[in-house]
């Protein structure tokens, strides 16, 4: 039964400012919203909402946040898993709530800051890692929090994000025990466990504003199922590959399609092969607009890579691939063009299932198995399938959506029906016992004096989701005791008369948000710099051999000897000893060395195209790796300062600048200037303009001949010389170029 509560029924229960914003958007509450209100949302009760994508979960959180803020019950923090999702929520909330005086902020950046400026804001959107970092830095406004929203709380089950989220929630419940908690989740089997843990009322609903059909394509026939019952069939009277038949079938309905594939290679390949089909469904006006978007994507870097060219060509035909190897500006262009119905087909990796709101009429989950080194090919989880399929159906545009799998045999068809269409999503389980993350969070708890002895540690972890699920704490307590001894050996904590306290270096390691084991490796390496002659590769190899740089680049058999030879060439400069080939650490050591060569090539001005060809690292992934390396070098600088190791601080500062700009040392003076990055700096240097003094001396006309009048004028202005130039339309630099290349 679909419940229908009118918004006007709660008019007297919420502030008038909030009511006015809501009545501009809808008149009737959706079932999850109505159930939440009936279960005490407006009375401040904790609520766990478990319902499908686009069912209206966010409104439940918004009502709690804005109501509590306007009633003077404190700030609200809205916690999301990804920066992209944080940016999306920030823009949405600003649009709706700034006009009624709510001050909204987003904090997703520097993990070594308490961001005191946030004290002035009412609604703060953060990633879980950023909020965890703010707690470590003792942000003084945390006690003012009155509402906590945890978006995508089912990610407690994620091995990389789950432990941070679980410890964060446990800590928040201690710091602001009276705050109202709103947890939002996809449909999961054991939402009641999460509700029990949080002392919350549970809201479970299968409501969707757009009807969802799950189905299978097999032998040229689309079978559609609704709520585990087969409801329709559609025969396709053409021959061809399943993917292309589904694309044509969808486009004939004047709809769009998302393909979920297991790898970047598959996504790019399918996108390229789909172009001829999709091109036939484009109008002349759409092609004109797509060409404009394609040009932007092509020129996101000053020197387009092969990937940029491939993506640009696909977009001209109304198709795109979408994965973490793309630049941020390219992903934004694709997402916006898809929302505007210009791009008809997007072939993406699973990263799109989280974060940005990008629904489509048809979602095809093509690759239902994923390879892992430990287990080989395995079926993806039911929860993943439901997450991908949940994108199907575009509210306001579609009356239904299709989430389709492709079967290659009768056996596959039956397995897909039993496993995914009739199956239930798996239970969410705590991943808190994963050791690297447990080690990092345990040090953070000790460093902030949340834990002062073993009994404190046991008490804290008894309040976690792990404790609720597993009841017995023996295994976790054993790990905790072992990690405490390890942290003591590292010199990060002291134990006196059963009291545990952080050392100065231990507290700083916690603030720097790196794994204590990584910090220990870095400190040992820094101490060796007094005896070893160092080069850039010395530091790069050590930093690549940390958990923060995972996944490391794999070493293919045919390149093993080449890597070994380079290792021998640099052996005298390394700060870590090479393990024996039979030791279990050996493979990681070799992979860390290859990964360090990527960064070495970057700082020696190898182009993005050369790096893509040599290391199979696309520009978007390169950007992510550079950000991680920049942070690790910064952390190393901070540790070196604290330990008084002045001999290596200059090396680290210089290396960090080179990583940021991707240049040889001789260009560092030039890249200080705005609009001058690695490419333009090299052009100037090779022309004999080697520093700021030379820029002041040479004529405006000469720089113009090298870089163009617009750039030349901006450079001259920075050194104190105003230049008047004729009015022309100069190409505006792409944001990505400014951020990535420093041009």
d(CA 638, CA 441): 20
462 Rama class: left (phi>0) / alpha (psi -120 to 50) / beta: alpha
Per-residue confidence (pLDDT) for residue 742, from 0 to 100? 33
pLDDT computed for residue 743 by the predictor: 29
Mean pLDDT on 619-645 = 94
Residue 741 has pLDDT above 70, yes or no: no
Q: What is the pLDDT of residue 356?
A: 62
CB 173 within 8 A of CB 83: no
Segment 529-572, tens digit of pLDDT = 988 899 999 999 999 999 999 999 999 888 999 999 999 999 99
pLDDT of 226 over the 60 cut: yes
Tell me: cis bond preceding 80? Omega within 30 of 0 counts. no
Kindly report the pTM of this predicted structure.
0.88
pLDDT-derived band of residue 354, with 50, 70 and 90 as boundaries?
Answer: low
Mean pLDDT, to the nearest integer, of 466-493?
A: 91
Name the DSSP class of 381.
P
CATH fold for the domain made of 435-511: Arc Repressor Mutant, subunit A (1.10.10)
Residues in contact with 644: Cβ distance below 8 Å, sequence separation at least 6, in sequence order: none
CA dist 555 → 116, 136, 548, 552 (Å): 45, 37, 19, 9
Tens of pLDDT, residues 565-595 = 999 999 999 999 888 888 888 999 999 999 9
pLDDT at 727 over 70: no
The token duo for 688 is: 């004999």
Q: What is the pLDDT of residue 3?
A: 57
Query: For 212-223, what is the mean pLDDT?
Result: 93
At residue 730, does pLDDT exceed 50?
no
Burial class (CB in 10 A: 0-12, 13-18, 19+), 207: middle
In angstroms, the CA 604 to CA 618 distance is 18
Query: pLDDT digit string (tens) for 508-536?
Result: 999 999 999 999 999 999 999 988 899 99
371 DSSP assignment: E
| Closest by CA position to 134, among listed 166, 102, 168 | 168
676-740: same fold as 5-204?
A: no
- pLDDT level of residue 298 (50, 70, 90 thresholds): very high
Contact (CB, 8 A) for 740 and 327:
yes
- 413 vs 17: CA distance, rounded Å: 53
* Beta strand extents in 199-301 (DSSP E only): 201-204, 211-218, 221-226, 229-235, 257-260
- CATH architecture observed for domain 5-204: 3-Layer(aba) Sandwich (3.40)
- For residue 383, give both structure tokens: 């929860």
- Tell me which fold the domain 529-662 belongs to: Sec63 N-terminal domain-like fold (1.10.3380)
Q: Are 218 and 233 in contact (CB under 8 A)?
A: no
In angstroms, the CA 52 to CA 387 distance is: 8
Distance CA 223, CA 124 (A): 45
pLDDT at 735: 34
Q: Which residues in 286-372 belong to E strands, given as ranges?
A: 319-322, 345-348, 362-365, 369-372
User: Which residues contact residue 696 at a Cβ distance below 8 angstroms, ignoring those fewer than 6 apart?
Assistant: 719, 720, 721
pLDDT at 373 over 70: no
Q: Is residue 736 pLDDT above 70, yes or no?
A: no
383-400 mean pLDDT: 87
Centre a 10 Å sphere on the Cβ of residue 266 and count the other Cβ atoms it contains: 18
Give yes or no for residue 313 having a pLDDT over 60.
yes
pLDDT of residue 598: 97
| Alpha-carbon distance values, 595 to 325, 549, 592, 651 (Å) | 16, 9, 5, 20
CB environment 603-637: b (16+ within 10 A), e (fewer): bebbbbbebbeebebbbbbbbebbebbebbbbbbb
Least confident of 454-463, 467-476, 606-615: 467-476
Domain spans of the chain, in order of start: 5-204, 211-421, 435-511, 529-662, 676-740
Task: For residues 718 and 165, give the distance between their C-alpha atoms in angstroms, rounded to a whole number.
Answer: 45
Name the class of domain 211-421.
alpha beta
- For 614-668, the DSSP string reads HH---HHHHHHHHHHHHHHHHHHHHHHHHTT-HHHHHHHHHHHHHHHHT--GGGT
Banded model confidence at residue 52, pLDDT cuts 50, 70, 90: confident
Report the candidate in 655, 528, 645, 560 with the shortest Cα–Cα distance to residue 604: 655
Which pLDDT value is given to residue 739? 33
Region of poorest pLDDT, from 325-329, 395-399, 534-538 = 395-399
On average, the pLDDT of the chain sits at 91
Q: Which residues of 499-527 are buried (b: 16+ CB within 10 A; e: fewer)?
A: ebebbebbbbbbbbbbbbbbbbbbbebbe
Q: Are 584 and 591 in contact (CB under 8 A)?
A: no
pLDDT of residue 150: 97
Give the DSSP letter string of 461-474.
HTTSHHHHHH---H
- Specify the CATH architecture of the domain 676-740: Orthogonal Bundle (1.10)
Question: Does 400 score more than 60 pLDDT?
Answer: yes
Residue 4: pLDDT band with limits 50, 70, 90: confident
- Three-class secondary structure of residue 723 per DSSP: coil
């Amino acid at each position: 039964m679909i419940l229908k509560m009118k918004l006007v029924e709660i008019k007297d229960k919420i502030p008038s400012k909030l009511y006015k914003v809501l009545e501009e958007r809808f008149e009737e509450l959706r079932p999850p919203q109505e159930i939440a209100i009936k279960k005490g949302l407006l009375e401040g009760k904790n609520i766990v909402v478990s319902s499908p994508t686009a069912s209206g979960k966010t409104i439940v959180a918004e009502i709690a946040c804005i109501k509590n803020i306007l009633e003077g019950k404190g700030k609200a923090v809205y916690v999301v898993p990804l920066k992209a999702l944080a940016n999306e929520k920030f823009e949405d909330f600003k649009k709706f709530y700034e006009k009624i005086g709510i001050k909204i902020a987003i904090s997703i950046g520097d993990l070594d800051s308490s961001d005191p400026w946030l004290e002035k804001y009412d609604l703060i959107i953060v990633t879980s890692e950023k909020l965890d970092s703010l707690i470590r830095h003792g942000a003084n406004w945390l006690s003012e929090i009155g509402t906590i929203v945890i978006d995508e709380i089912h990610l407690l089950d994620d091995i990389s994000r789950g432990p941070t989220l679980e410890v964060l929630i446990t800590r928040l419940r201690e710091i602001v025990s009276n705050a109202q908690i709103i947890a939002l989740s996809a449909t999961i089997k054991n939402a009641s466990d999460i509700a029990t843990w949080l002392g919350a009322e549970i809201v479970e609903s299968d409501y969707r504003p757009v009807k969802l059909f799950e189905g299978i394509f097999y032998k040229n026939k689309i079978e559609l199922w609704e709520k585990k019952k087969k409801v329709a069939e559609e025969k396709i009277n053409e021959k061809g590959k399943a993917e292309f038949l589904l694309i044509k079938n969808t486009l004939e309905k004047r709809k769009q399609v998302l393909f979920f594939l297991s790898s970047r290679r598959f996504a790019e390949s399918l996108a390229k092969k789909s172009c001829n089909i999709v091109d036939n469904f484009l109008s002349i006006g759409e092609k004109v607009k797509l060409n404009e978007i394609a040009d932007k994507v092509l020129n996101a870097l000053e020197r387009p890579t092969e990937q940029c060219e491939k993506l640009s060509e696909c977009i001209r035909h109304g198709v795109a691939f979408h994965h973490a190897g793309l630049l941020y500006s390219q992903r934004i262009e694709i997402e916006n063009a898809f929302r505007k119905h210009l791009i008809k087909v997007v072939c993406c990796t699973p990263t799109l299932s989280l974060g940005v709101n990008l629904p489509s009429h048809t979602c095809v989950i093509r690759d239902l198995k994923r390879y892992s080194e430990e287990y080989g090919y395995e079926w993806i989880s039911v929860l993943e399938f439901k997450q991908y399929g949940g994108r199907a159906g575009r509210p306001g545009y579609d009356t239904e959506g299709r989430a389709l799998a492709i079967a290659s045999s009768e056996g596959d068809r039956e397995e897909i029906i039993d496993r995914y269409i009739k199956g239930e999503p798996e239970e969410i389980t705590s991943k808190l016992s994963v050791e690297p993350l447990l080690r990092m969070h345990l040090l953070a708890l000790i460093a902030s004096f949340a834990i002062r002895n073993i009994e404190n540690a046991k008490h804290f972890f008894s309040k976690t989701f792990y404790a609720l699920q597993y009841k017995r704490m023996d295994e976790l307590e054993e790990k905790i005791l072992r990690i405490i001894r390890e942290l003591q050996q590292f010199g990060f904590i002291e134990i006196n008369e059963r009291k545990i306290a952080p050392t100065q270096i231990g507290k700083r390691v916690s603030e720097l948000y790196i794994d204590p084991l990584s910090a220990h490796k870095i400190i040992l390496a820094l101490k060796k710099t007094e005896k070893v002659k160092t080069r850039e590769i010395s530091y790069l190899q050590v930093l690549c051999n940390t958990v923060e740089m995972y996944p490391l680049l794999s070493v293919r058999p045919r390149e093993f000897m080449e890597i070994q030879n380079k290792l021998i060439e640099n052996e005298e400069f390394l700060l870590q000893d090479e393990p024996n080939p039979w030791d279990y650490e050996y493979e990681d050591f070799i992979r860390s060395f290859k990964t360090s060569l990527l960064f070495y090539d970057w700082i020696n001005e190898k182009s993005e195209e050369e790096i893509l060809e040599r290391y199979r690292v696309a520009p978007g992934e390169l950007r992510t790796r550079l950000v991680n390396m920049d942070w690790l070098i910064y952390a190393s600088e901070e540790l070196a300062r604290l330990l008084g190791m002045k001999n290596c601080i200059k090396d680290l500062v210089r290396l960090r600048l080179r990583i940021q700009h991707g240049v040889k040392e001789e260009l560092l003076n030039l890249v200080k200037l705005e609009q001058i990055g690695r490419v333009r700096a090299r052009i100037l240097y090779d022309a004999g303009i080697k520093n700021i003094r030379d820029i002041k001396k040479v004529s405006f006309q000469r720089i113009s001949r090298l870089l163009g009048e617009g750039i030349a004028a901006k450079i001259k202005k920075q050194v104190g010389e105003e230049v008047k130039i004729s009015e022309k339309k100069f190409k505006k630099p792409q944001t990505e170029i400014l951020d990535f290349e420093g041009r």
